[in-house]
Amino acid sequence: MDLKSLYQEILNEHNLTPAHKGVMENPTFTLHGVNPSCGDNIYLQLKVDENGIISEGSFNGSGCAVSQASVDMMLDDVIGKSKEEALRLAQLFMDMIQGKVTDDEKLEELDEAAALKNISFMPARVKCAVLGWHTMQEMLTSGKTEGEGISSHCDL
What's the rounded mean pLDDT across residues 117-130?
88
Higher local confidence (pLDDT), 28 or 155 = 28
Hey, is 40 helix, strand or coil? strand
Reported as a single tens digit per residue, the pLDDT across 44-77 is: 999 999 999 999 999 999 999 999 999 999 999 9
What's the rounded mean pLDDT across residues 135-145?
84
150 pLDDT band, cuts 50/70/90, is very low
Contacts of 130 (CB under 8 A, 6+ apart): 70, 93, 94, 97, 154, 156
Whether 144 has a pLDDT exceeding 90, the answer reads no
What's the rounded mean pLDDT across residues 100-111?
89
Q: Please state, in angstroms and rounded to a whole number, the distance separating the CA atoms of residues 5 and 7.
A: 5
What is the pairing mode between strands 40-48 and 54-62?
antiparallel
Q: Is the pTM of this model over 0.75?
A: yes
Hey, is 31 helix, strand or coil? strand
Whether 6 has a pLDDT exceeding 80, the answer reads no
